[in-house]
Chain A
């Protein structure tokens, strides 16, 4: 539930709390978009500053949508020409290694590499929707709000991403 602070986003505590909750996801989303860390950070910074500047006229419950609207608008004239490089989270993939045969492990590692490359080859629309779900764990309706599209559109993009990924990976089998 939103923090009903009378000062709203203008209150230091509210603003920093809001930052703690939303900044990383925003920055990651922007990275998935541009493939450029600096650009992702810059746009994130600008969006939060804009939020601060308008803190008096943005109620806390509208802050997130304001943030993403500003970020998306700022992104319109930025070209994503970098490859999106994603690493595997070390802690998540450790468990299996000891149980399996070396061949199996190798095959899996190869698959993972193919997946990384395939993701980089997705369209921006498919990539951002897909990664917001897979990496950030966002539900389809949340993604819909962030990208300002319908849930159906999110489902189409993710379905499209899965199909495209499979084609890319199987093509290199």
Chain B
């Protein structure tokens, strides 16, 4: 056994018999034995543990804030994320805009949140916000649509050319390029453009070309012609007629030569099977030459 721990081992009764006998035979053994015996009789000065605890308790409650229950720090974090997500989704829900469109060559019939009906003509698009629809019936239109508005608060249709406010039920709006046509079939329609405000009653129609008002005859029909696959043109620009045919038949038409200035009045069939008849009508009206070039139709004015 190492000398430097020998005495500690003895004190702890860890010596084996031989070592112990040897140790006990030493002269200094008596002293060590007495040290062992009497040191065990010593005590530390008295301590008032109760008052010490009281002092600690007082301090305890002063520093109480850190005694937060060990709720994971993730709880407030997750709550914050959920709250933000909730706020965001509500924001998105409120601001969400629905878009509906009719591609070239077709029509689209759709219902708005209050069961108002909209029929979109080929190549047209509307957009609106579903949130709070009943209080705020507002639709943005690009192209042509026939509206059957359900009864309720005012119905607004906003086009690049003007806003149409409806307090009635059935009306047609065509906003193409620089031409705006509004026809009222039932109820009352107010048309507001940059320069003009007009109120239409059933059968009445209004058109603006480049901001200038055109005179339109009364409309005898109860629905727009295009619903029944007939494109009705009144004092229409040649370009607009061609554009309409492109949309209705989903074809590309190239016009060469001098652009005809004469406006067009007529009704052109627009079913797929009517394609050649439709083209014929325009060719005849404007004395054009027809040629097919790949997937394009080339019309040449003389």
> In the bound complex, how far is the Cα of B70 from the Cα of A54, in angstroms?
12
Query: What is the CA–CA distance of A49 and B11 in the complex, to the nearest angstrom?
Result: 36
Chain A contacts with B in 145-173, Cβ cutoff 8 A: 152, 154-156, 158-160, 162-163, 165-166, 169-170
**Which residues of chain A are near B63, meaning CB under 8 Å?**
49, 52-53
Contact A156 B28 (CB under 8 A): no
**Size of chain B's interface in residues, with CB distance under 8 A?**
36
Determine if A156 and B55 form an interchain contact, defined as CB atoms under 8 angstroms apart.
no
Report the bound CA distance from A58 to B8 in whole Å: 34
Q: Once the chains bind, are A41 and B52 in contact (CB under 8 Å)?
A: yes
- Chain A nearest CB from B19 CB (Å) reads 14
Query: Does B77 make an interface contact (CB < 8 A)?
Result: no
Q: Is the CB of A169 within 8 A of B8?
A: no
Render B30-54 as a binary contact track against A, CB cut-off 8 A, 1 for contact.
0110111011111111010100110
Q: How far is the CB of A113 from chain B (nearest CB, A)?
A: 10
Given A155-B8, A165-B35, verify A56-B67 contact (CB < 8 Å). yes
Say yes or no: A135 contacts B47, CB within 8 Å: no
Q: Evaluate contact between B44 and A28: CB separation under 8 angstroms.
A: yes
Partner of A88 from the list B43, B52, B66 (CB cut-off 8 Å) is B43
Q: What 1/0 mask marks residues of chain B from 54 to 88 whose CB sits below 8 Å from any chain A CB?
A: 01100110010011111000000000000000000
Chain A residues with a Cβ closer than 8 Å to the other chain, count = 53
CB distance B42 to A45 under 8 Å? no
Does A166 lie within 8 Å of B32, measured CB to CB? yes
Are the CB atoms of A85 and B53 closer together than 8 Å?
Answer: no
User: Which of B31, B49, B67 interacts with A170 by CB under 8 Å?
Assistant: B31
Flag the segment in A19-27, A70-78, A97-105 that touches B: A19-27
Interface assignment of B5: CB less than 8 Å from any CB of chain A: yes
Known contacts A27-B52, A49-B60, A155-B8, A169 near B35 by CB under 8 Å: yes
Q: Which residue of B lies closest to A134 (CB)?
A: B39
- Name B62's closest neighbour in chain A (CB-CB): A49
A-chain residues with CB within 8 Å of residue B219 when the two chains form the complex: none
Interface positions, chain A 18-48, Cβ under 8 Å from B, are 19, 23-24, 27-28, 31-32, 37, 40-41, 44-45, 48
- A152–B5 CB distance below 8 A: yes
Q: Report chain B residues within 8 Å CB of A14.
A: none
| A86 at the binding interface (Cβ < 8 Å) | yes
Nearest CB of chain A from residue B185's CB, rounded to whole Å: 75
- Write out the residue numbers on chain A whose beta carbons fall within 8 Å of the beta carbon of B281: none
Q: In this assembly, does B134 line the interface, its C-beta being within 8 Å of a C-beta of chain A?
A: no
A residues within 8 Å of B by Cβ?
10, 16, 19, 23-24, 27-28, 31-32, 37, 40-41, 44-45, 48-49, 52-56, 85-89, 92-93, 108, 111-112, 115-116, 119, 130-131, 133-135, 140, 152, 154-156, 158-160, 162-163, 165-166, 169-170
Query: Could you show 23 A-B contacts with beta carbons less than 8 Å apart?
Result: A23-B49, A27-B47, A31-B44, A37-B47, A41-B52, A45-B55, A52-B67, A56-B66, A87-B43, A89-B43, A108-B34, A111-B38, A112-B41, A133-B11, A135-B39, A140-B12, A152-B5, A155-B5, A156-B5, A159-B8, A160-B4, A169-B35, A170-B31
User: Apart from A41-B52, A119-B39, A165-B35, what 16 extra A-B contacts exist at CB < 8 Å?
Assistant: A49-B59, A56-B70, A88-B41, A88-B42, A89-B43, A111-B34, A131-B39, A133-B11, A134-B40, A135-B40, A152-B5, A159-B5, A159-B6, A162-B32, A162-B35, A166-B32
